[in-house]
Amino acid sequence: MVEMFLLVDIENRGKPSRVDVVKARENMAYTLSSIAEEYVEIEYFANITLDYIHSLNPKGIVLSGSSSPWNAYSVDILRKFYKVLVNVDKPVLGICGGHQLIAMAYGGTVDHMRKAKPGEPTGKKGTWSEGLYCERGWMEVEILERDPLFKGLPETIIVDEGHFDEVKKLPKDFKIIATNRNCRVQAMRHKSKPVYGVQFHPNIFDEKHPHGKTVLKNFFEICRNLHTKC
Domain 4-229 has CATH 3.40.50.880: yes
pLDDT at residue 189 in the model: 99
pLDDT at residue 44 in the model: 95
| Mean pLDDT, residues 107-119 | 97
**Res. 3 pLDDT band, cuts 50 70 90:** confident
pLDDT at residue 21 in the model: 84
Q: Is the pLDDT of residue 54 over 60?
A: yes
pLDDT at residue 16 in the model: 83
Q: Is the pLDDT of residue 1 over 80?
A: no
> What is the chain's mean pLDDT, rounded?
96
Tell me the domain boundaries of the chain: 4-229
CB atoms within 10 A of CB 153: 18
Please report how the helices 97-105 and 75-87 are oriented relative to each other, as an axis angle in degrees rounded to 10: 80
pLDDT at residue 229 in the model: 64
Report the distance separating Cα 174 and Cα 48, nearest Å. 24
* Percent of the chain scoring above 90 in pLDDT: 92
Q: Is the pLDDT of residue 121 over 70?
A: yes
Q: Is the pLDDT of residue 227 over 90?
A: no
Please report how the helices 18-36 and 211-229 are oriented relative to each other, as an axis angle in degrees rounded to 10: 90
Report the distance separating Cα 92 and Cα 222, nearest Å. 10
First to last CA, the chain: 15
pTM for the predicted model, two decimal places: 0.95
